[in-house]
Amino acid sequence: MKTKTMKPAWLLLILVALLVSACQPTGLSQFEQASTYAAQTKMAMPEPSDTPESEITTAPEATQTATAEPTPIPTVGQVGPSDFPENVNPLTGLVVSDPELLNRRPVLVKVANHPTSGRPHAGLSFADIVFEYYIGYGGNRFIGLFYGENAEQIGPIRSGRLVDPQIVSLYQGILGMVSAYKPIRELIYDTLDNRVVDGREACPAICDDGRQSVISVFADSEEMTKFTTNRGVDNRRYDLDGMAFDIAVPEGGEPGELANILYAPTNRGEWRFDEASGKYLRWIEETSYGSLEMIPLVDRINDEQLAFSNVIVLFAYYTEYAESMHDISLWDNQSGQRAVVFRDGQAYELTWAAPKNNSPIQFYDQNGEIFPLKPGNTWMAIFGLQSEVEEDDGEWTFRFDLP
């Protein structure tokens, strides 16, 4: 077994300093007073388990493939990082069924992974990109980006976090969330202004399904576009150049059939490469009676297992203000940090960077050239710089750690 531990990387500037210089004061001193906010995060998390990794079981082989073959979507071979054809989504490299969908801002929606009673999630299989990051107490949260396709139900939606305005700004998007701790909410609005759709009152853009709970609120991406347009947001096509796509499998990879994503021992995600579909299928933990089992993670809209063309683990600097209060340095990563990209059953050691605050994250090979992703959807898990990486015969394990 090879252990690939991150070397220490100390940044002189943290993201909050950049945000404060660009926006109104955020009142960071209030972070220490966020006991109620932190308690809500902690209560959503499962109790720690003593189950060793060797005793974690996987669902029967019969369920290890997607429940239905996806409808083929035409690709155009090699495209990007610029000069995309009018009918090609610059965030997937795919020809879209309705080019008019690209004449708007991307719609980004916060999606809860905890409490587990909110699973299965809704709408993630329709997203162009899904971002996943740590929120404290061993928990993680998702942001789904919807551009080339819409989804009528996305969620369950939860609160905003400090990193959200960075991610949304990188893709010139609008954000759907349900509230946030006061200083974070102020920061989000200072950065995104009227591009925030916040809470149940925005129905039909964001609606409660009637249960009035933390797992009962969902978004409709098409209605979010309409809602923000009526509010005065300029929903038109923006420059989203920066990513490249190629059907051909790049050289220089090593075996990468499995990626284990561990934000905590009881918070596990698995991506297993499926030869039949050419995609990575998502598995997630289910804990019962003291045992932990990995089961297919499906989309409640179509009951199909999540299948993504690219799975990326990128490493960034986390700043911890409280146990459930973190910022992540994305905007100031112009020189590059480590990323491991999985496509076509191969793993590639790359570098990621955000050249500007309003253009997509880019990936570079060892020669400094833009690395082509596989045409299709992409899942990005954001890990701390000190996270541990192990590789054993094509099976990769990522264990989250700060900063």
pLDDT, one tens digit per residue, over 79-92 is 999 999 999 999 99
d(CA 169, CA 127): 17
Domain ranges of the chain: 72-403
| DSSP letter, residue 378 | E
SS3 126: helix
Residue 393: count other Cβ atoms within 10 Å of its Cβ: 9
- Identity of the residue numbered 91: L
pLDDT, one tens digit per residue, over 290-327 is 789 999 999 999 999 999 999 999 999 999 999 999 99
CA–chain centroid gap for 16, Å, is: 21
- The highest-confidence range among 18-22, 53-57, 210-214, by mean pLDDT, is 210-214
Tokens of 48: 């720690």
Q: Which of 41, 49, 6, 43 is nearest to 268 (CA)?
A: 49
| DSSP letter, residue 10 | -
SS3 217: strand
The predicted pLDDT at position 57 comes to 63
pLDDT, one tens digit per residue, over 138-148 is 999 999 999 99
CB 188 within 8 A of CB 178: no
Which range (133-137, 284-288, 354-358, 377-381) has the least confidence? 284-288
Residue range 183-203: mean pLDDT, rounded = 95
Is the predicted pLDDT of residue 197 greater than 80, yes or no? yes
* % helix, strand, coil for the chain, step of 5: 20, 35, 45
pLDDT, one tens digit per residue, over 56-79 is 666 554 344 444 444 455 667 899
Kind of pairing between the strands at 337-343 and 346-353: antiparallel
Please list, in sequence order, all residues whose beta carbon lies within 8 angstroms of the beta carbon of residue 43, skipping any fewer than 6 positions away: none
Q: At what angle do helices 182-192 and 15-22 cross, to 10 degrees?
A: 60
CB 370 within 8 A of CB 80: yes
d(CA 52, CA 114): 22
Q: Which residue has the higher pLDDT, 2 or 325?
A: 325
CATH for 72-403, options being 3.50.30.10, 3.40.50.300, 3.50.90.10, 3.40.190.10? 3.50.90.10
| DSSP letter, residue 354 | -
pLDDT, one tens digit per residue, over 215-255 is 999 999 999 999 999 999 999 999 999 999 999 999 999 99
The predicted pLDDT at position 32 comes to 45
CA–chain centroid gap for 208, Å, is: 23
> Structure pTM?
0.87
Residue 366: count other Cβ atoms within 10 Å of its Cβ: 11
d(CA 241, CA 172): 11
For tokens 């690939």, the residue is: 4
pLDDT bucket at 333, cuts 50 / 70 / 90? confident
What secondary structure does DSSP assign to 82-113, as a single string?
A: S---TTB-TTT-BB-S-GGGGSSPPEEEEEE-
